[in-house]
Amino acid sequence: MKDDREIVMSGIRPTGFLHLGNYFGAIRNYVKMQDDYNCFFMVADWHSLTTHPDTKQLKSNVHRVLAENIACGLNPDKVALYCQSHVHETAELYLYLNMLAYKGELEKTVTFKDKVRQNPENVNAGLLTYPVLQAADIILHRAKFVPVGKDQEQHLEMARNFVNRFNHRYGEVFPEPQAFNYNQALIKVPSLDNTGKMSKSENQLATLYLADNDATIRKKVMKAVTDSGPVEMNSAKPDYIENIFDLMKLVSSAEVINRFEDEFNNCTIRYGDMKKQLAEDMVNFISPIRNQVEAILQDEKYLLQVMETGAAKAIESAKATMLQVRKAMGLQYY
């Protein structure tokens, strides 16, 4: 079927258990984009091999990340939702792009240097060429827009460099991909311990996961740092109090937020009550998603069907691109 909409592509690493920061930072954008663009969303299982060669957990992680994205509103009928390893054309394009990527530029990549520092015993070539594989993922569908966070900017810049080298050498095949974000100012999802943002690897007790049960959510929220309250009318909020308001803005009604704003301003606020309210609103937000994730995970047949349908869409698009690539490169001998 012909689709004239612009093409969007993004990858999700299957490292399990999404949190509130992933939801408001990434997934919500995907869900919004699925009606306006021709979207390809992929689980980057090959990428995960660069740092996690042990694959015992891989299948369940892939299933979970698919289930979590679907439960958050991503519709497999509207987008191509697929696994990287199911689209073998990716590997072929990766090989061609590797001939256009220089060792020097790959070694200078910030994410590569970080991973070398974190894990000096496993500096494999796949790690070095991680950005090449990512570029292959994107341009395989000739995507123009890539919804990603700031940490991926350098990878996108490298993808544009590979595209320009390819187009210059073999002829215009690929558009230049660029980062995409609906809301210019990124939404803040602070951690509950006032140390920064919610994050996968650090401070798990200060991060709310979509898989957390109600008791865990309440416990984490109630532990958020507060003080004995403002003593002067209309004073400025300390940052740890601002954080609690920021979290409320994500899940609570305007009425609730205004009430606590007023109580803060006239010094009658009781942070215990505020946190109780926030905890209930978080429970109401997260528990339906969590329950749906569990239901989807029980239904392995459905998950297989999602992956199959997604792969078929992605392969169709990939095959069309690769015909153009081989032709442009002069790799058609008969």
Q: Shortest Cβ distance from residue 284 to ligand TRP (Å)?
A: 29
**Considering the rule CB under 6 A, would residue 138 count as an interface residue with ligand TRP?**
yes
> What number of other Cβ atoms are within 10 A of residue 131's Cβ?
24
Catalytic residues: 115, 197, 200
Residue closest to 220 by CA, chosen among 238, 207, 210: 207
User: Do residues 151 and 200 lie in contact, with contact meaning Cβ atoms separated by under 8 Å?
Assistant: no
Q: Shortest Cβ distance from residue 10 to ligand TRP (Å)?
A: 4
Contacts of 173 (CB under 8 A, 6+ apart): 142, 166, 167, 321, 324, 325, 328
What's the burial of 93, exposed, middle or buried (CB within 10 Å: 0-12/13-18/19+)? buried
**Considering the rule CB under 6 A, would residue 10 count as an interface residue with ligand TRP?**
yes
Evaluated on CA atoms 246, 252, 201, 110, the torsion sign reads negative
Residue 192 or 198 with smaller CB distance to ligand TRP: 198
Question: Judged by CB under 6 A, how many residues of this single chain contact ligand TRP?
Answer: 12
**Considering the rule CB under 6 A, would residue 152 count as an interface residue with ligand TRP?**
yes
**Contact stretch for ligand TRP (CB under 6 A) within 9-17, 97-105, 229-237, 244-252:** 9-17
**Considering the rule CB under 6 A, would residue 137 count as an interface residue with ligand TRP?**
yes
**Considering the rule CB under 6 A, would residue 13 count as an interface residue with ligand TRP?**
yes
Residue 147 main-chain phi, psi, to 5 deg: -75, 105
**Considering the rule CB under 6 A, would residue 146 count as an interface residue with ligand TRP?**
yes
Q: Binding pattern to ligand TRP, positions 28-67, x when CB under 6 A?
A: ----------------x--x--------------------
Q: Shortest Cβ distance from residue 28 to ligand TRP (Å)?
A: 16
Residue 85 or 292 with smaller CB distance to ligand TRP: 85
Kindly tell me which residue out of 134, 191, 243, 252 binds ligand TRP, with binding defined by CB under 6 A: 134
**Contact stretch for ligand TRP (CB under 6 A) within 66-74, 131-139, 224-232, 294-302:** 131-139
**Considering the rule CB under 6 A, would residue 148 count as an interface residue with ligand TRP?**
yes
Q: Shortest Cβ distance from residue 164 to ligand TRP (Å)?
A: 18
Residue 90 or 243 with smaller CB distance to ligand TRP: 90
**Contact stretch for ligand TRP (CB under 6 A) within 95-103, 146-154, 162-170, 264-272:** 146-154
Q: Shortest Cβ distance from residue 138 to ligand TRP (Å)?
A: 5
**Considering the rule CB under 6 A, would residue 27 count as an interface residue with ligand TRP?**
no
CA 286, CA 178: separation in Å to the nearest integer?
A: 32
Residue 133 or 282 with smaller CB distance to ligand TRP: 133
Angle at 37 between CA 36 and CA 41, to 5 degrees: 125
What DSSP letter does each residue of 126-147 carry, written as one string?
HHHTHHHHHHHHHHTTT--EE-
CA 274, CA 256: separation in Å to the nearest integer?
A: 9
What's the burial of 156, exposed, middle or buried (CB within 10 Å: 0-12/13-18/19+)? buried
Contacts of 22 (CB under 8 A, 6+ apart): 200
CA 222, CA 217: separation in Å to the nearest integer?
A: 9
CA 186, CA 111: separation in Å to the nearest integer?
A: 21
Interaction site with ligand TRP (CB under 6 A): 9-11, 13, 44, 47, 134, 137-138, 146, 148, 152
